[in-house]
Structure 1
Amino acid sequence: MIENNNNDKDLEKDTLNETSTPEETQRQAEEENLAEEKPSLEELLAEEKDRYIRLYAEFENYKKRTAKERNEFFLYANQDMMISMLGVLDDFERALKELSKNGNENDLKGVELIYQKLKNKLTEKGLKPIEVNPGDSFDVDLHEAITQIPAPSDDLKNKIVDIIEKGYMLHDKVIRFTKVVIGQ
């Protein structure tokens, strides 16, 4: 019975084609061409799936990037405050030097206690001094050369001769370069 229906439809097409006008025949040919040119459902599905995957990947990258930016913001949010506190640390170090030269032992202990407390609190928040010694190699990423002087010995040529001001890092970022004198 099903075969009969298919045969009947084919027969109807053949009779329509024989009795149809040239315009109808042309229209049918155009419809068949359009049907061939239209992408199949599988192609459309694959295209939409690809767009979805790309959009999802882009969104994941956006989430990672914003999370990283947020973490960096929290890490370095107190950078300005830390920079302003560096002057206070420098003043404490100068005061300790002077008190150790000619000061009262009790005054020295009191100032040293306060200095250590302040230094420890800043260290807890991520502040680290940049360790530099005379004779170390000059590193552009950590040091700032204030001046060059003739090297006192051959082994100090292009090396650090003196340290003018201590440098500091906040986590992994330099917030103040160590100011040094280089041997020439």
Structure 2
Amino acid sequence: MSTKEDIKEEQIANEQEVIQVEKNQEVEVELVKEELTSDEIIQAEKDKFLRLFAEFENYKKRTSKERVELFKTAGQELMTSLLPVVDDFERALTHTEENAATEELREGVLLIYQKLYNTLEQKGLSKIEIIKGDVFNAEFHEAITQIPAPTEDLKGKIIDCVENGYQLGTKIIRYPKVIIGQ
């Protein structure tokens, strides 16, 4: 019986050995799976990081661009409110030239006008130049009236500029008011 028992013990030992080998193989497979999944996890986290970094860089660029644009047009409200003052100075200069006002008064008004206008120009304000005979463009001009054209070649063109237009940088803050020929 000892041989039967020995054989049985040997079979049990073999089975235990097989079980142990299978467990070792399972552990190795699990380790391989864990390595693959950890690599995949690392890659996924790396992708997330790169996407987040790219989004942040885009955010920084967008906000700096918006900030520069804001600085360029920050004085738009102030400039718009000062334009009637500039118009009044231009009318005063025209009036002092027409009338026999004292030369000192005219020079004083001209000096104040030039200082104000130069300061506004330094801040980015520029006058939109309108020449009699220019073609009317609704995107850049505001037509306040139409009158019969004095000549045939002035039909649909600017005859007179009633109020000057101004732009701040590249943005038009007041469109020139013009009279066009019909």
Gaps of 5+ in 2: 1-14
Kindly state the Cα deviation for residue 143 of structure 1 after the two structures are TM-superposed: 1.1
Change (3 A) 1:17 1:177: same
Kindly state the Cα deviation for residue 52 of structure 1 after the two structures are TM-superposed: 1.0
Q: RMSD between aligned alpha carbons?
A: 2.7
TM-score norm. by structure 2 comes to: 0.78
1:106 to 66, 81, 104: 104
Identify the residue that residue 127 of structure 1 maps to in structure 2.
Answer: 125
How do 1:156-175 residues align onto structure 2 when only pairs under 5 Å count?
156-175=154-173
Q: Which runs of 4+ in 1 moved over 3 A?
A: 15-18
The answer to whether 1:14 aligns with 2:12 is no
Quote the sequence identity (%): 52
Change (3 A) 1:91 1:15: closer
Is the 1:130–1:142 contact (alpha carbons within 8 Å) kept by the matching residues of 2? no
Identify the residue that residue 75 of structure 1 maps to in structure 2.
Answer: 72
Supply the distance in 2 between the matched residues of 1:166 and 1:127 (Cα, whole angstroms). Answer: 12
How do 1:35-184 residues align onto structure 2 when only pairs under 5 Å count?
40-102=37-99, 103-184=101-182
Kindly state the Cα deviation for residue 56 of structure 1 after the two structures are TM-superposed: 0.6
Supply the distance in 1 between the matched residues of 2:50 and 2:155 (Cα, whole angstroms). Answer: 59
* Number of corresponding residues: 162
Change (3 A) 1:50 1:163: same
SS of the residue 1:40 aligns to = helix
Change (3 A) 1:40 1:68: same
Is the 1:148–1:183 contact (alpha carbons within 8 Å) kept by the matching residues of 2? yes
